[in-house]
Amino acid sequence: MHRLLLLGCLWLLAAPPASSIFQRPTGTPAPLRLQYLLEPLHPTVHTQRGATATLPCVLRALPHNYRVKWSKVEPANYRENIIIITNGLYHKNYGPLSPRVRLRHSHRYDASLTITDVALEDEGRYRCQLVNGLEDESISLTLHLEGVVFPYQPSNGRYKFNYHEAKRACEQQDSRLATYQQLYKAWTEGLDWCNAGWILDGTVHYPIINSREPCGGRLLLPGVRTYGARDKQKDRFDAFCFTSALQGQVYFIRGHLNFKEAGQACRNHGAAIAKVGQLYSAWKFSQLDRCDGGWLADGSVRYPITTPRERCGGLPDPGVRSFGFPSKEMRTYGTYCFVGK
């Protein structure tokens, strides 16, 4: 017994302090503390299309011979595209963002990036990097656009788009392919859709609120279900598009118009027939609410409902309802027009 107690005491004397038991494994570098850059108070900046947004990047001190480099991480190809480089005195802009970006430079330590007339493709992750020899450091920020995600398929039915066609289809409807974060947020807000669709990074998903047999079965839990990454050329699905606030107005013209007459009616008012993304934006941001089906630019007929009621489709939730793609010769509907500011 005495011998066991003695061995126990010797083990305690030889054991390392409690704090060192949980030390990082040998060879694992400790996370670098920021020496020159201030950690942003809010790493996500919220904005809307058409607004001006500033991504903060402030130095606590100015090292010798330094540069600050802003870049954007593109999820579709995992590349970083340089936006602007400055040495505090001079700067140079790069890439497609060049005409719409500048340094805020409200004081000598301020390297914040200002983006004017924010576009849909500006959403994403940005990096402000201090380049200073061996002491490089950086911070990451996210530009988040308030908007709405909608599923989209062409007139010839479901699962017709490869990735590139889905991307082009969204752009033609005043939107872009949604990111996973945008699709997930839309699911938390009630998006329930049984058809799988492409998103921006080349993966395929579908969001389910109400589990049911045609959508994976009743036993699977609700969620954003995934098919993972697919072949962008060969595989075919629908698309999940994202749009944000409009720089203009969507309005309805009543009538019994075929598709060609609908377009002409809008042009007679100095407007254009509305795109699907524009109708969703007007529904989301301007609370457009009409019980009337109207032609849209892709040949579909839809109508926006913000206050559900029995005689407007009977569904309990707000949304943009669809009559699909009727014959363009049919004279049954009015038209939704868009006029820009």
Domain parsing of the chain, residue ranges: 37-145, 147-243, 246-340
Cα 126 from Cα 139, distance rounded (Å): 8
H helical segments located in 15-111: 18-21
pLDDT of the residue at 194: 94
Q: What is the pLDDT of residue 33?
A: 75
> Residues of 126-157 as b/e, b for ≥16 C-beta within 10 angstroms?
bbbbbbbeeeeebbebbbbbebbbbbbbbeee
* Cβ proximity of 304 and 288 under 8 Å: yes
Which stretches of the chain drop beneath a pLDDT of 50? Answer: 1-31
Please tell me if the domain spanning 37-145 has the same topology as the one spanning 147-243.
no
> Phi/psi zone of residue 157: left (φ > 0), alpha (ψ -120 to 50 degrees), beta?
left
**37-145 has which fold?**
Immunoglobulin-like (2.60.40)
**pLDDT value at position 65?**
87
Q: Report the run of H or E that residue 195 belongs to, with start and end.
A: none
Where would I find the H helices in the chain? 2-14, 18-21, 163-172, 180-188, 259-268, 276-285
DSSP bridge pairs for 277: none
**Is domain 147-243 annotated with CATH 3.10.100.10?**
yes
Query: Which residues in 53-84 are b (16+ Cβ under 10 Å) and which e?
Result: bbbbbbbeeeeeebebbbbbeebeeeeeebbb
Report d(CA 176, CA 170) in Å as an integer. 5
- CATH 3.40.50.360 assigned to domain 246-340? The reply is no
Give the tens place of pLDDT for each residue, 238-277: 999 999 999 899 999 999 999 999 999 999 999 999 999 9
- CA–CA separation, 55 vs 104, rounded Å? 9
What is the rounded CA–CA span in Å between residue 244 and residue 231?
Answer: 28
Name the one residue in this structure whose structure tokens are 């060192």. Answer: 20
pTM: 0.84
Tokens of 139: 């911070």
- pLDDT value at position 8? 38
Nearest-angstrom CA–CA distance, 290 and 294: 10
Q: In what order do the strands lie in the sheet with 113-115?
A: 53-55, 113-115, 101-103
Amino acid, single-letter form, for residue 59: L
User: For residue 151, what pLDDT is reported?
Assistant: 98
Give start and end residues of each alpha helix (H) in 233-338: 259-268, 276-285
pLDDT of 86 reads: 94
